[in-house]
Structure 1
Amino acid sequence: MERYNKITNKNPREIVLLKGKPCAWGKCRFCDYIDDNSRDIDTINDLNYEILSRVTGELGVLEVINSGSCFELPKETLKMIKDIIIEKQIHRLFFEAHWMYRKHLQKMREYMGIPITFKIGVETFDRSFREDYLNKHANFDSPEEVRKYFDSPCLMVGIKGQTKEMIDYDIQMLKMHFELGTVNVFTNNSTDVKRDPELVDWFMNKYAYLLEDPSVEVLYEKTDFGVGD
């Protein structure tokens, strides 16, 4: 599994895929990514030290992802990240967190000491589809509510049962309320959630212009950030 990469097109940054403790929610219907975790803190920290040692700081921006939220990284790993920020003169950090951690984001910002762009896996702003089908456990009612806490939503498109109207609304809300966002085109995995090829083709045709939009990153494959497998 590749765990380090440099993104040089939109929002240039280094990106690392670290290992964390098990996802605190871990019940999203579409997700089998959460298997990349451990309860052995020493093993986690040893691996993360090796990955973080590859960070050069040449772009001044670092994104840290793991199979869950940044709050599930061990405190020793968080200290490593803080040390690298200072040593490599990183001036901006990207983290991701679940909705349940929304009231803890400021503490993390204060701990790291630099601006943090917090991503959140929204998947869709359609509450019924998000909660009743995807089982996201993120019970917000509106994009405005998300924006009070988070900077950059991650949307998911191309799922059977999703509609064009849902996707239209999601993209509209992304562009209206957020400066940055990510759109993940769903890829079949080991779960029972399935990709809708016709919906994917429609999306890639109608929203092809997003590929050139500097504020939106479209991930057609889950490894498009150059990490994972």
Structure 2
Amino acid sequence: MDLERYSKITNKNKREIVLLKGFPCKWGRCTFCDYIEDNDTHEEEMIKLNNEILKNVTGEFKQLEVINSGSCFELPEATLKEIKEVIQNKAIDTLYFESHWIYKNRLNEIRDFFSPTTVIFKTGIETFDDNFRNNILKKGIKLKTPYEAGDIFDSVCLMFGIEGQTKESIAYDIDCALKSFKRICINIYVENSTKFKRDEELIKWFKENYSYLEENPSVEILWNNTDFGVGGELNE
């Protein structure tokens, strides 16, 4: 698999970012996602690879984002300990992690483990359209209100540009996200090995009407899924 695993985000919210390997995604049913192919079950090999990636971290921005093809709870325990060592040695004060909604009641386990470092939790809601999120994308996230997730997570990931989405749903998603979350990451869909196709007209409309969001310090837009400098093609 030809994946970049370390990079620096220098345009907004400056931070280092690493793409680590974890155990299989516990949810693993999202129909648009093929990054779970990067998961593994060989713990010793994962730990060795993750340690090598973490050696790149310099701490120059005092912020580190750690992602894996699933949730941070699926990283090996030894890798979590290594991350803790790195942030202590490099005086990193802010740590970003991703987690699926199924772990919503366990976030404090990670916060406590890495205390006093501030932990920012991101979650992939993708859309606040319940039907599209659960029946089409199979995210398995049932919200009582569109704002419920913002009471639990600090940052939300949205995904736009998949065939079947509408202008109205995107406008609704942006409105909900801006009202609920301190940080927003908008991913423009890039076709992969799944069945889903890009809606080029919808993406064009979004760009014409919402590019101004790039001026918002709390909003990041990934026009390509490798814009953070990590990831890439999942080769056989």
Please give the residue correspondences for 1:3-18 in structure 2 after superposition, counting only pairs within 5 Å: 3-18=5-20
The match for 1:29 is 31
Deviation of 1:142 after TM superposition, in Å, equals: 2.3
The match for 1:151 is 154
Instruction: Give distance in 2, aligned partners of 1:177 and 1:27.
Output: 26
Instruction: Give distance in 2, aligned partners of 1:141 and 1:14.
Output: 35
The match for 1:223 is 226
The match for 1:91 is 93
Contact 2:185 2:222 in 1 (8 A): yes
Deviation of 1:53 after TM superposition, in Å, equals: 0.6
State the TM-score, normalized to the length of structure 1: 0.98
Cα RMSD (Å):
0.7
Deviation of 1:210 after TM superposition, in Å, equals: 1.2
Instruction: Give distance in 1, aligned partners of 2:94 and 2:141.
Output: 26
Percent identity over the alignment is: 54
Determine which of 65, 68, 71 is the counterpart of 1:69.
Answer: 71
Instruction: Give distance in 2, aligned partners of 1:3 and 1:143.
Output: 33
Number of aligned residue pairs: give it. 229
Deviation of 1:85 after TM superposition, in Å, equals: 1.2
Superposed CA deviations along residues 185-214 of structure 1, whole A, max 9, x for unmatched, are 001111111110000000011001012221
Q: Which runs of 5+ in 1 are unaligned?
A: none
* Secondary structure class of the residue paired with 1:143: coil
The match for 2:48 is 46
* Secondary structure class of the residue paired with 1:144: coil
The match for 1:179 is 182
Deviation of 1:91 after TM superposition, in Å, equals: 0.2
The match for 1:188 is 191
The match for 1:163 is 166
Q: Which amino acid aligns with 1:68?
A: G
Select between 70-79 and 211-220 the one with higher mean Cα deviation: 211-220
State the TM-score, normalized to the length of structure 2: 0.96
Contact 2:29 2:139 in 1 (8 A): yes
Deviation of 1:141 after TM superposition, in Å, equals: 3.0
Instruction: Give distance in 2, aligned partners of 1:147 and 1:182.
Output: 14
